[in-house]
Every structure is written in structure tokens, then in C-alpha cells.
Structure 1
Amino acid sequence: MNKKTIITTLLALVAMVGQAQEKREYNISGFVPDGIVKVYLYKTEGLGNRVFLDSAIVADGKFTMKGNRPAYDLVSLGNKGLHSITFFVDGEPMTVDFANDTLIASTLNEKFQGYMAEDKVFTDNFYRLFMASKKAASETEKHETEQQITANNEAMIEQARRVIRENRDNVIAAYFLQAASGYMDYEELSAVIDSTTYYFNHPLMNEARQRLQVLQLRQVGKPLTNFALADPDGQSHQLSEWCGQGKYVLIDFWASWCRPCRMEMPNVIQNFERFRDLGFEMLAVSIDDKKSAWLRGIKDFGTPFVQLSDLKGRNSELAAIYGITTIPANLLVNPQGKIIAADLRGKALTKKLEEIFNDK
């Protein structure tokens, strides 16, 4: 490593440390409806766990709160009976009127609230459809509702992609990358994770950076690693029995307990039946750990293609090789046995197969 490279690396490290240590003030004043006696500042970590950071006593329907947090920390303000407001600590004063649902803040945070309002439409729609699917009177009605859920989720991710494109110069992109990164392939994700931007080192980027490392394991152009798995009868098979044998092969990772897999499966089956006679094959790799659950899932899902598993659950060796940490997930392999795409869902799967087989 030459002297210039060493200096550049050290400067980058200094910049990263400086960002990590930088503090910004939050200076909040606000109004709340009758009956609210206290307002809390908190962070949400893990599976909805709240970490309380600060609080303010309400007097005559008003409160003030002031303190310091790491620069651009994402925090929330609220209490029972209030709609929480999530914002970035950017050092600019903020006035919140919970009674009239208004916010006066920095350009960054007002812009963020606008995007959050758009996102809430999708979230509310998801919960409405989810409850409708649970109350469906027939399998046909349930299937139609689940298709609407899939379409709603796809629209939500497209909205997140748009927000990321519009905010490459600020931390808003980091927030929306949390949701969208799981739907991006290596090329798309590596293009939006730019190490020269401020948000690259933001804690919200941890999951996206980890996913990029995972996607490198199944990068387009890599030859598929051969592996042995058993079918439902206990017979061992090599992936090479199908992959690299002149057909396009989709290796689909699923599990009997996976509700998103259940919602995606009709789309997968529809594509298999449409393209199977054109040179398309499918291998369904279960991440179940109990054979009875696996067999029941095959029957419930009605999957008409090859079924394989090592019945090691989340410790599946094949899943580990390709960095499969969430399902549904898939790999599309070309006739020569090389990966050409990953994590194709919904319309993206159909579009890719239409391109391959020139069938629209």
C-alpha cells in the first residue's frame, strides 16, 4: 500500500469517526390534546422495542424539550393517545401540534413527513387487506385479496425506490433503503449504496450494507454451486441434475410457515405453468426442519414442481452458501448453470421470463 493510499484511507476513517461523534441539538416545542400529561422522545429498535431517551411534562396543553443526540439520529416523539412523529435530529428547531396534526420543522424533516404520509397509505392498505384475507369466505376470495396485498407491496417498494432516487444527497434515502433493499439485486443496490454520501455511514444503512455483502454470494455471472438435497421420498439429488442441463432453472426458497411465501406462490406456479414447455424448470427448496410440516406445505401450496430440502431449517447449508436470510427468495440459473438473476418476485419474475423466452 503506497503512501497516498494510506493517507486517503486514514482521512476516510477520520471522517467516519467525526460523523459518529458529531452531535446535533433537538429543540422541540409543541401542543397536545386534553388529557395528555407527558410526551416522550424514543427510538425503536429490533422488533418494535422502544428505548426512551427523554420526556417532557405537559402544562396547559404545551411542552418543550431540548437535548442532544448523534447527528441525524432517527427518533420518535409521542405517547399513548398521540400519533407518533418520527424525525431526524438535524439541529433545527421544531414545533409540533398534535392537536391539529401539523409540523413546522427543517426542510429535511418536512420533506420526510411528506414521504411518511405517502408510505402510511400503503401500510394502512396492507393491514386492511390482511384482515380481509383472514375473514375471506372462500379460497377464491382469499386468493384475490392476497393478490391485492402483493400489488400493494410492489407499489410501496416502487415508491421507496423513487424516494431514494430523489434523496441521494441526504439521510432520507437511508430510511427507505431499509424496506427497499430486500427487493434489490446486486447491481441496483450497489448503485444506490454510495460510500461518498453522508447516509452511507448512517446506522439505518446497516441492513442494506449487510444485504449487499450477501448478494455478492449470488452475484450475476457466478456458476451455481452444486449441492445434494433430498426429495420427499428421501432420495438424494444433485442440483446439477437440472442446472446446467440446457434449461433455465428457478431455485425457489420457501417454507411451510412462511406467509409471504404463500402469497407469492400462486405467481410462481402461474409462471411455471406458462413457461415450462419453453425450457423452464423449477426447484423448490424448503427451509423447513420437520418433514411432516414440509409435506403438509407441499400439499397446501399445491406446487407442481420438484421439491427438495435438507430439513435443517434456518441452518440450511444451501441457503447459507447463497446468503439466504429471508424468504421467499430465489435464484434464476441459465442453461449453462450460471446465476443470471436473484430475488425475482411478482411482476419482476414474469417480466424476466418474458424477456428470456420472448413471450409477451
Structure 2
Amino acid sequence: MATKLLYIICFLFSMGNAFGQTIFTISGYGKKIQDGDTIYLSYLEKGKHILESTTAINERFSFTGMVKHPTKANIYRNENPGLAGFITESVSIYLEPGDIKIISPDTLTGAEISGTPLNDTLQLLHSQLAIVWERMRSIKDPDLFDETEKRDTALLHRNRRELDKAFYERADIELAFANQYPNTYVSLDILHQLSRNNTYIFKVEKVYNKLAESLKNTDKGKTINERIQKKSQVMSGMKAIDFSMEDTDGKIINLSEFEGKYVLLDFWASWCGPCREEHANLINAYQHYWDRGFTILSVSIDTDKNKWMEAIEKDGITWTQVSDLQGNKGDVYLKYGITSIPANFLIDPDGVVIAKDLKGDFLKEELAKLFLTPPQ
């Protein structure tokens, strides 16, 4: 048996060398993991989603495999990430040569990872994030509210605000970590994720400039740079790019028609959850300031007109809506350098961009300053 096992290991090693791949092993332990629990390992390899699973025995689980380069992965318990609508428990790791260890006093919650250089570095980040994660776990996500809780709008808005606050606190910690450790894949992944967020893109740029050239030249490094360049296409102080587009009735609307007013140029889509959540805030702003020279022009990046129209009606939107139904290939979407939605540009009466990506309380505060009224 030992000879056979040695042969298999040697075979895997030779195959790994032949294809430039490296062998990893994962040894996991969770004090509260039950016999029969299904543990999933999920990661991307050459753009292809890889999903493996194993069954826990005696509070333990393990995986063995090969990857060509360090790869971010996630471990889940009893929740198939391809099928689960909401993930409640997971732990992130890096697949790289060596024996990766996952040890938890619970199931996967609170797990510590170690055993390889990248996972040691990732654990350092996790330690810095522990307090924020604990607070986030104490706040019930509105997506998990029951019907009674959903009717409590004060609770719903409070929980969303608290989760948003925790998100930004987490992002600040991650960005500071990447700035301190610019020569690791951990920082590359942090910047890749945060570069999706319009609010952080220029903070990301400052840290990106410190990355090792080898990291900048990876696919993720190149993607980060592309996002930075796109977000620089329209900046505060620049004249807003005029455009023409059809509204819901097929009438041609020009952005320049709104000169003389403060305009929030808003990009959204019916399928974008955060966009739909922000509509309540936009409705409040519109109702409060429309008679003082403020309006909203929303550009949908939908491709299905029926879904676009249904979302407008369901959310109770009354301001002007336009779309070319070309999704993220639309001319205006590309000209404005949009990388993620929701995204917006606040334009003054002269057609000059004066602020970008104002959401929630940030939008309320900016409008209050413009119109010299306390934020609502």
C-alpha cells in the first residue's frame, strides 16, 4: 500500500513538472464539523470554474490537486456555491505548493490558515479584519429578513447602513494592508476586488503604483490598470460628455437639454441589486430638491426592455429614463468609463462634472451643501 501511494505521489509530481503545475494539499479541521458534512473547494482555473467536494470524517477534511500559479480559492461547508442563493459560511485560501492547514474552533467560522507563504500572509490580513467580520456577523443581512422584518423599514435601513459602514471599514483595512505589503498576490487580489468599486478606484491607483512589476504584468494586474484608465475618462472639473438616447417612449433625449439644472447622471440596470436598493435614496433626493433646480437622468444598461420597464414601475421611478439596450457595450457606458454599477456623475448647471459616485448619505450631504439645507 505504501509503495502504491509513493508511486501515485511520484506520478502526480512528474505530471506537475511536465505541465508547469504545482501540487497543493489542504488539511482541514473544525471542532464542530459533523461527520457527513460536505466540504466544497471552489476556484477559477483559466477562466473555468472548478468545484470539488469531499465528506468530512472525524471533524477533518482534505483536498489534493494541482495549479499552475498561486490561485485564490474558497472553502464552503454544506453550501454548494454554484447552487446556494446566499453563502453563510466560508473561508478563503490560496492554492500553492505545500500543505495548507485550516484549523477552526467552530466549523469554518473563525478558521486560521497557515502552512504556505501566501496563506500565512492572508492569515495576517484576516487577523486585522477579525473585529470587522465579527461585527458584520452580528448584523442580520436584510436579504435574510423574514416577511415581518421586511415590513420594518427602519430596521431594514439601519441594517443596510451598518453593513455599508462595515464594508467601507473593511475596505480601508484591506487597502492599508496592500499598501504595506505591495509584493504579494494577496495585495494584488485586494486591489483587483476594490477596483470594481467606483469609490475606491483612485485610492487603488496609488497602491497599484507600488506593486511589484511581476504582479502588474499578471492578468489581474492588467485588469486593474484598465479599470483605473477607464475611471479617468470623465473626472470632476471636466465638461460632461453630451449624448442622445431614447427614453421609455422612444423619444430622443439629450443630456444637454438639462443644462441650467443640477443633474445626477445615474447608471443602473434592472438586474443590479445595489442599484435597486439605492433607488429609495434617489427618490428621496428627487422629491426633496426637484423644485430647486435638481433632476436625475438615469441610463440603464439593460438589454431587455421589458425587464427595464418592469423595474422602473416596481421601484416607482418618475424621472427621465433612457437606454440603448446595449448593456455594457453601449457607447455612453464606454465613453463615461463605467466599470461597475451603480455609478453616477453630479453635473452643475453649466454642464460640468462636480462630483462622482455619490450614494446614500454622501449624496444627501452633497445636495444639502448645494442647496444649503440640512440633509434629510
TM-score w.r.t. the length of structure 1 is 0.71
How big is each residue's C-alpha offset from its partner over 1:57-87, in whole Å with a ceiling of 9 and x where there is no partner? 9998778888875665424467759975422
* Equivalent of residue 225 in structure 2, options 182, 193, 209: 209
* Equivalent of residue 174 in structure 2, options 163, 172, 187: 163
Gaps of 5+ in 1: 1-21
Q: Which amino acid aligns with 1:148?
A: N
Distance in 2 between the 1:179 and 1:153 partners? 16
1:184 is matched with 199
Gaps of 5+ in 2: 1-19, 81-88
Instruction: State the Cα distance separating 1:359 from its structure 2 match.
Output: 3.9
Conserved? CA contact 1:29–1:95, under 8 Å: yes
Q: Which amino acid aligns with 1:166?
A: F
1:88 is matched with 94
Change (3 A) 1:135 1:226: same
Instruction: State the Cα distance separating 1:240 from its structure 2 match.
Output: 0.5
How big is each residue's C-alpha offset from its partner over 1:253-309, in whole Å with a ceiling of 9 and x where there is no partner? 223343322210111122233333443221122334454444433332222422333
Distance in 2 between the 1:262 and 1:165 partners? 31
SS of match in other structure, 1:307: strand
1:252 is matched with 266
SS of match in other structure, 1:285: strand
Instruction: State the Cα distance separating 1:151 from its structure 2 match.
Output: 4.1
Change (3 A) 1:306 1:62: closer
Q: Which amino acid aligns with 1:287?
A: I
Instruction: State the Cα distance separating 1:337 from its structure 2 match.
Output: 1.6
How big is each residue's C-alpha offset from its partner over 1:157-187, in whole Å with a ceiling of 9 and x where there is no partner? 3311222113312443333334433132553
2:239 is matched with 223
Change (3 A) 1:86 1:288: closer
SS of match in other structure, 1:297: helix
Alignment of 1:41-56 (within 5 A): 43-44=43-44, 49-50=49-50
Change (3 A) 1:145 1:189: same
Change (3 A) 1:80 1:295: closer
1:130 is matched with 143
Conserved? CA contact 1:167–1:173, under 8 Å: yes
Conserved? CA contact 2:132–2:166, under 8 Å: no
Change (3 A) 1:289 1:195: same
Distance in 2 between the 1:195 and 1:24 partners? 28
Conserved? CA contact 1:254–1:327, under 8 Å: yes
| 1:109 and 2:122 matched | yes
Instruction: State the Cα distance separating 1:350 from its structure 2 match.
Output: 2.3
Conserved? CA contact 1:161–1:180, under 8 Å: no
Instruction: State the Cα distance separating 1:131 from its structure 2 match.
Output: 2.0
2:332 is matched with 318
SS of match in other structure, 2:358: coil
SS of match in other structure, 2:172: helix
SS of match in other structure, 2:364: helix
Alignment of 1:193-204 (within 5 A): 193-197=208-212, 199-201=215-217, 204=220
SS of match in other structure, 2:264: strand
Report the identity percentage: 25
State the Cα RMSD in Å.
4.3
1:345 is matched with 359
1:266 is matched with 280
Distance in 1 between the 2:29 and 2:256 partners? 65
Alignment of 1:58-77 (within 5 A): 72-76=70-74
Conserved? CA contact 2:188–2:220, under 8 Å: yes
SS of match in other structure, 2:152: helix
Which stretch shows the higher mean deviation, 85-94 or 307-316?
85-94
Change (3 A) 1:224 1:201: same
Change (3 A) 1:98 1:335: same
How big is each residue's C-alpha offset from its partner over 1:77-117, in whole Å with a ceiling of 9 and x where there is no partner? 67759975422367786543357665363652321332564
How big is each residue's C-alpha offset from its partner over 1:12-56, in whole Å with a ceiling of 9 and x where there is no partner? xxxxxxxxxx9988576554667479988652469993356xx99
Which stretch shows the higher mean deviation, 349-358 or 58-67?
58-67
Instruction: State the Cα distance separating 1:358 from its structure 2 match.
Output: 4.5
Change (3 A) 1:269 1:70: same
1:7 is matched with none
| 1:148 and 2:159 matched | yes
Conserved? CA contact 1:25–1:90, under 8 Å: yes
Q: Which amino acid aligns with 2:49?
A: N
Change (3 A) 1:164 1:59: same
Change (3 A) 1:304 1:187: same
Change (3 A) 1:39 1:141: closer
